[in-house]
Amino acid sequence: MLDSPRNLSELDHRTFRTDEFWRVIPGWKDVSAAEFGSHLWQAKHSIRKLDQVQSILGDRISPSFIEDIAAGLRIAPMNVRITPYVFSLIDWDNPTDDPLRMQFLPIASQMLPDHPYYMADSLYEDVDSPVPMLTHRYPDKVLFLPLTTCPVYCAYCTRSRIIGGSTESVDKDTYGPNPENWEPAFEYLRTHPQIEDVVISGGDAFNLTPRYIRLIGEKLLAIPHIRRLRYATKGVAILPMKILTDNEWLDALLDIHRRGRELGKQVVIHTHFSSPREITQYSLDAATKLFSEGVHVRNQAVLQEGVNNSIDEMVLLTRKLSYMNIQPYYVYIHDMVPGCEHLRTTLWDGVQLEKNVRGTTAGFNTPTFVCDAPGGGGKRHVASYEYYDRENGISAWSSPNVKPGELFLYFDPLHRLSPEAQARWNDSDSRMAMIHDVIRRSDYEISEKARTKIARRLEGGAVATGGKR
């Protein structure tokens, strides 16, 4: 159920925090604005272990809450990494409900068992990978993953199977940047003239050195048919100081941006604000700097229970981004990946939010709400399902241009269903009956091969492609 809007003022989005908010954290009460505003200080003081949380917060955090985090980390698929910037924006007087704490420091008392049909590689990025580090799903676009480390680790990460190093519950093949390993991807791009668009993601482009930002940019811009590059980084949201003080990194990006313009090609940044509470004067300054250099920035948010599945939060996020000249591009329905069932919302939340955000600002600043269809169907508009059984939380999707003839299933989190629907899910016969009913009612003709594929997936239950889970 979505919160009712409380009538945001039309000017609320123009307020940006300018106070020295980090000084309420006992361990950082004496840190100056100059230190806090330095990307080097931020990187050096990033939180990577639970005992740092305790020592920095002192008696502002209770032993029972620390134990709750410790228990959460024992089962979570992601390691801890938080910048001081984000850590200081958490309301430590009420960490249980804080939307930033929820995104970066999971607690066991909020976590739920994974959905029966979760997948470690829910989007089939590995399946649709012709050469290592590359996913080729849409005809003219690829996803390039040159590294799998980030400046923060998000509890909801869709690539938790590879990002950020092994945890107690998941073994991962995390890798850092190594140009020797990228050559097969570059060669694939050179020999596939239909590809025009490359997303350089990971991991996070903030963790690429200036040399690697240039190397990747130059190699890709030199391929005649490639017209668009997107450097993907959550950094603008969680470490805006890097844009403001890491001149070497920014110069590398601006050089590639300039070179792209000379060649008539687009070089942009894709970033990742999910909550308006991540936004301060630092964010506005970083966005303004990129804007003044002519760099276009687009935002991709992830819809999460308790974080942003309220009309006010989503409208405020949209308006703040627009005010900062960051284009609110996508809001994703949470992928069906392990360890974050408590963060998933229903598809219906997404449909309702879309309806309530649309009309609050200009159309070109209204994000498209999408469900990335599990099994590699690609991003589909939330209201474009073939059939949606809301009572049992089952939706069916087609993707005629990506995988014609196939049908894809998305499942709402079980804890959001009625007790009667949960009971049906607990009975394997009625579960199968209701899923097959949705397939039958879907107004889309699927091939026999696709039917067999779905049946195999349903019989197999959880289809994990890696890890100990």
Binding site for ligand SF4 (CB under 6 A): 150, 153-154, 157, 159, 163, 202-204, 234
- Contacts by 219-225 with C-beta closer than 8 Å and gap 24+? 219/182, 219/186, 220/186, 220/189, 221/256, 221/259, 221/260, 221/263, 221/265, 221/267, 223/186, 223/189, 223/190, 225/193, 225/194, 225/195, 225/196
Give the span between the Cα atoms of 44 and 37, in whole angstroms: 12
Q: Which is nearer to ligand SF4, 295 or 343 (CB)?
A: 343
Give the span between the Cα atoms of 271 and 269, in whole angstroms: 6
How far apart are CB 372 and ligand SF4 at their closest, in Å?
13
Q: Which is nearer to ligand SF4, 164 or 393 (CB)?
A: 164
How far apart are CB 171 and ligand SF4 at their closest, in Å?
17
The burial class, CB within 10 Å (0-12 / 13-18 / 19+), for 126 is middle
Q: How far apart are the first and last CA of the chain?
A: 31
CA dihedral defined by 454, 460, 464, 469, rounded to 10 degrees?
Answer: 160
Q: Which is nearer to ligand SF4, 153 or 385 (CB)?
A: 153
Which residues pair with residue 411 across a beta bridge?
A: 394
Name the token pair of 147.
Answer: 């590294």
* Residue found by looking up tokens 């942009």 in the block: 268
Instruction: Say if CB 307 and CB 103 are below 8 A apart.
Output: yes
Name the token pair of 246.
Answer: 């890491």
Q: Which is nearer to ligand SF4, 103 or 346 (CB)?
A: 103
Q: Which is nearer to ligand SF4, 201 or 395 (CB)?
A: 201
Q: Which is nearer to ligand SF4, 182 or 206 (CB)?
A: 206
Interhelix angle 247-262/210-221, rounded to 10 degrees, is: 10
Query: What are the E-state strand segments in 85-140?
Result: 134-136
Q: Which is nearer to ligand SF4, 312 or 341 (CB)?
A: 341
DSSP string, 380-437: EETT--SEEETTTTEEEEE-TTTSTT-EEEEE--GGGS-HHHHHHHHSHHHHHHHHHH
Name the token pair of 16.
Answer: 């940006």
Name the token pair of 137.
Answer: 């799903």
* Residue found by looking up tokens 């049906």 in the block: 424
Q: Which is nearer to ligand SF4, 99 or 203 (CB)?
A: 203
Q: Which is nearer to ligand SF4, 233 or 365 (CB)?
A: 233
Q: Which is nearer to ligand SF4, 124 or 153 (CB)?
A: 153
Give the span between the Cα atoms of 314 and 319, in whole angstroms: 9
How far apart are CB 430 and ligand SF4 at their closest, in Å?
35
DSSP string, 254-291: HHHHHHHHHTT-EEEEEE----GGG--HHHHHHHHHHH
**Number of other residues whose CB lies within 10 A of the CB of residue 265:** 19
How far apart are CB 148 and ligand SF4 at their closest, in Å?
8
Q: Which is nearer to ligand SF4, 157 or 286 (CB)?
A: 157
How far apart are CB 98 and ligand SF4 at their closest, in Å?
18
459 contacts: CB under 8 Å, gap ≥ 6: none
Q: Which is nearer to ligand SF4, 274 or 360 (CB)?
A: 274
How far apart are CB 273 and ligand SF4 at their closest, in Å?
12
Instruction: Say if CB 366 and CB 301 are below 8 A apart.
Output: no
How far apart are CB 450 and ligand SF4 at their closest, in Å?
30
* Residue found by looking up tokens 């490359």 in the block: 198
How far apart are CB 203 and ligand SF4 at their closest, in Å?
6
